[in-house]
Amino acid sequence: MITYRDEAQITAAQAIDLYIRSSLAERRPVDNLQTFKSMLKHANLTITAWDGDQLIGISRSLTDFAYVAYLADLAVDQKYQQQGIGKKLIEETQIHLGPDCMIVLLAAPNANDYYQHIGFEHNPRAWTLKK
């Protein structure tokens, strides 16, 4: 049985292991433990999915809880994908947001088609600026 938690304190090592198992490691600094510690510490809404004591999914967001939530990471262990876990992580994230709060995200290339399927609207006006 899969359980979802909003209070779980996960370690950077646990998160890195999950990101590797989810393929998100291709676009995240999994070789930098300090960066991962900071990513987890400063995200202000993190929902996790568990199979027993194994971390199998995460929704990591930065939000004001009223207007916008940036869903920075949505990762599900590849062995558990296509079971609705990603969708449930997003639903659990929405439960913690205000009624008018929108979720914004940048899709991973392999997941680009996934989000429309679960109700997201495509917006071609996203921009990034890397240091």
Indicate the pLDDT class of residue 92, thresholds 50, 70 and 90: very high
Model pTM greater than 0.85?
A: yes
% of the chain exceeding 70 in pLDDT = 100
Burial of 5 per CB tally in 10 Å (0-12, 13-18, 19+) = middle
DSSP E strands, the chain: 2-5, 45-51, 54-63, 68-76, 102-104
Q: Domains plus CATH for the chain?
A: 2-117 (3.40.630.30)
pLDDT of 23 = 84
pLDDT reading at 101 higher than 80: yes
Over residues 10-17, the mean pLDDT reads 95
Helix extents (H) in the chain: 12-22, 33-42, 85-95, 114-117
- Beta-carbon-side half-sphere exposure of residue 51 (alpha carbons within 13 Å): 10
pLDDT of 124 = 85
pLDDT in tens, 46-80: 999 999 999 999 999 999 999 999 999 999 999 99
pLDDT of 4 = 98
pLDDT reading at 26 higher than 90: no
* Lateral strand order in the sheet of 68-76: 2-5, 45-51, 54-63, 68-76, 102-104
Q: Which of 95, 98, 77, 96 is nearest to 86 (CA)?
A: 77
Residue 72: strand, helix, or coil: strand
Which tokens sit at 5? 């938690």
